Structure 1
Amino acid sequence: MSDPTDLYRLSGDLPELTDPVLLYHFDGFVDAGAAGRLAVGHLLAELEHRVIATFDVDRLLDYRSRRPVMTFDTDRWSGVESSELVLRLVHDTTGTPFLLLSGPEPDFQWELFVAAVGTLVTRLGVGTLVTAHGIPMAVPHTRPLGVTSHATRPELVAGRTSVFGEVRVPGSVAALIEFRLGAEGHDALGHAVHVPHYLAQAEYPAAAVTALEAITGSTGLVFPLEGLREAAAKTDVEIAEQIEASTELSTAISGLEQQYDAFAAGSERGNLIAEPSEMPTGDELAAQFEAFLAERDERHGD
């Protein structure tokens, strides 16, 4: 196996840290409501940060499956939007330093990449690794968003219940990091936010708020959430307007609310992943909401 440290380049000397938290999220895997992506973007927009390590994306990405956007201006190429997979040092609102690893999910050399992350975890003395993303569930947006948490040690997610038993799902680099580094004795955990299946393809800020709140609960890091909560409230108002204008949507949401309430009360151990019966499918609901959101974006653009 190649030297994993050859996979990244340091930007100056590594900072001296004491058991820092490492947050990580990679674009490309399941992320319903863009929960993880919005959360990372919000942190980078609101908090002080600097790059401390950059990964060699030429060795990790398949450019033909995710071609970079290039700009053509009249008679020449004037720019290219290059992908970056970087580790940053960030400070929360109390000044506590933590690490944030983000960028596109690698297409190649997963094991080598995980080993490279492991070398940085060791060199920086990372205490806990945390990730978060969204998963589509048959739940209504009118109820609190649930979270399924998982970890390398049960103590890390004590008090949290799961609606899942044993399932087999496609893997991800984020999951592999938790699995491999956990086997080496590192503490790692993740939070999967339950996003209404009809909003899975849209940006749903409430899911990002829930993700960051879950991270705070498991790490003690404090994030500025006011702007994200305002965006979530605005989105909920717009969704309510769409539902009010459609009898079909109102009926579907009402059915989801009844199913959710029965499940929460314990009177029916239903499967919140499955599609509700005798109602529009997730794709049908999503199509209506996507059409509405696209029309809304056009109005805002005008």
Structure 2
Amino acid sequence: MLDPHGLYEVAGELPALDGPVLIQALTGFVDAGSAIQLSRENLLENLESEVVATFDMDQLLDYRSRRPPMIFVADHFESYEDPVLALHLVRDQLGTPFLLLTGPEPDLQWERFIKAVTELIERLGVKVTIGLNAIPMAVPHTRPAGLTAHATDKSLIGDHESWLQRVQVPASLGNLLELRLGRSGHDALGYAAHVPHYLAQTGYPAAAELLLDAVSKVTGLALPTGKLRESAKLVREEVDKQIAEDEQAARLVTSLEAQYDAFLRGRANSLLVESDAPLPTAEELGAELERFLAEQTRDD
């Protein structure tokens, strides 16, 4: 393996910190409802921050698989949006410093990148790393959003109730980082917000609010969520309005609610419920609602 230190460049001197939290918010894998992106933007737009280190994207990104955007105007190319993977020093609403890792998930050199991040974690004295994620689930938007928590040590997430037992999933850089940190003696945990899968392709600020509230609760950081809450209310009102105008869509949401409520009552081991008349599957419900909401967007 090449020297991990060669993957990043520090902006000046590393700050002297007293056991900061590091929030990892890489995008590019599963970001249902753009919850990771919304969380990152909310923190950087509403809190004081500065870049501590940047990573060499030429070594980490497959540009052909994720082509950065360029702007063409009339007869010339005007701009190019450089992909940036950076570690920020951020101060919460009370002035407490924490670290925020943002940018696209690397396509290449995962193990080397993890070594580089671990090196920075050790140099900065990070006490715990927290990953943000958002996954599409067969849940209705009319019920409280759920959260899956995971950690290198169960004590880090307390009595959080698990939604899953054992399942094989595609690896992501963020989840692998958590695994590697745990095996090297560092505390790490993560949260995955549950996003209604018929809203997974649109902005869902309620999920971002849920993620940041979870981070605040476990770390004590004072993170801003007011604007996310306001946006979530507007999104909820718009979705409710669209569904209320279509009887079939309303029936589908009602079916999802029945499945969800049955799951919470412990009458099933999945988000499905037995009945005399078979209910449509979660995939069928999601596909139908996605179609309906897409049509409403086009009409607008």
The match for 2:287 among 259, 279, 283 is: 283
Contact 1:29-1:105 at 8 Å conserved across structures: yes
Which residue number corresponds to residue 228 of structure 1?
228
Match of 2:23 in 1: 23
Q: Give the structure 1 partner of residue 177 of structure 2.
A: 177
Aligned residue type for 1:263: F
- Partners of 1:156 and 1:10 lie apart in 2 by 30
CA distance in 2, matches of 1:77, 1:203: 29
Between the two proteins, the alignment pairs up a number of residues equal to: 294
Q: CA contact under 8 A between 1:33 and 1:200: conserved in structure 2?
A: yes
Q: Distance in 2 between the 1:245 and 1:279 partners? A: 22
Match of 2:64? Answer: 64
* 1:82 aligns to 2:86 (yes or no): no
Alignment map for 1:181-260 (pairs within 5 Å): 181-260=181-260
Structure 1 gap segments, 5+ residues each: 297-302
Distance 1:95 1:4 in 2: 31
3-state SS in 2 of match to 1:222: coil
Q: Provide the residue aligned with 1:148 in structure 2.
A: 148
CA distance in structure 2 between the partners assigned to 1:82 and 1:181 by the alignment: 29
Is 1:123–2:137 an aligned residue pair? no
Q: What per-residue deviation string (whole Å, max 9, x for no partner) do you get for residues 67-93 of structure 1?
A: 111122333322111100000000011
SS in 2 for 1:123: helix
CA distance in 2, matches of 1:159, 1:238: 35
Q: 1 CA distance for matches of 2:180 and 2:283? A: 41
Larger mean CA deviation between 145-154 and 69-78 belongs to 69-78
Give, as a single letter, the amino acid of the residue that structure 2 aligns with 1:277: T
Do the aligned residues in 1 keep the contact of 2:249 with 2:289 (CA within 8 Å)?
Answer: yes
Tell me the SS of whatever aligns to 2:90: strand
Query: Aligned AA for 2:69?
Result: V
Deviations 1:123-152 (A, max 9, x none): 000000001111111111011001010000
Q: How does 1:100-111 map to 2 (within 5 A)?
A: 100-111=100-111
1:238-262 per-position Cα deviation (integer Å, ceiling 9, x unaligned): 0010010011110011111111111
**Counterpart residue identity of residue 245, structure 1:** E
Which one of the candidate residues 277, 282, 296 is aligned to 1:292?
Answer: 296
Contact 2:249 2:288 in 1 (8 A): no
Are the equivalent residues in 2 in contact too, given 1:202–1:290 (CA < 8 A)? Answer: no
RMSD: 1.5
Q: Distance in 2 between matches of 1:141 and 1:191?
A: 19
Structure 2 gaps of 5+ residues are 273-278
Which amino acid counterpart does residue 232 of structure 2 have in structure 1? A
- Matched residue SS, 2:113: helix
Residue 26 of structure 2 aligns to a residue whose secondary structure is strand
Task: Report the AA paired with residue 201 of structure 1.
Answer: Q
CA contact (8 A) 2:35 2:134 kept: yes
Taking structure 1 as the reference length, the TM-score comes to 0.94
Q: Is the 8 A contact 1:138 1:276 kept in 2?
A: no
Shift of 1:267: 2.8
- C-alpha distance in 1, partners of 2:137/2:261? 14
Q: Residue 258 and residue 281 in structure 1: after superposition, are their counterparts in 2 closer, same or farther (change >3 A)?
A: closer
Tell me, yes or no, if structure 1 residue 157 matches structure 2 residue 147: no
- Call closer, same or farther: CA 1:266–1:103 in 2, change over 3 Å: same
Kindly report structure 1 stretches of 4+ aligned residues shifted beyond 4 Å: none
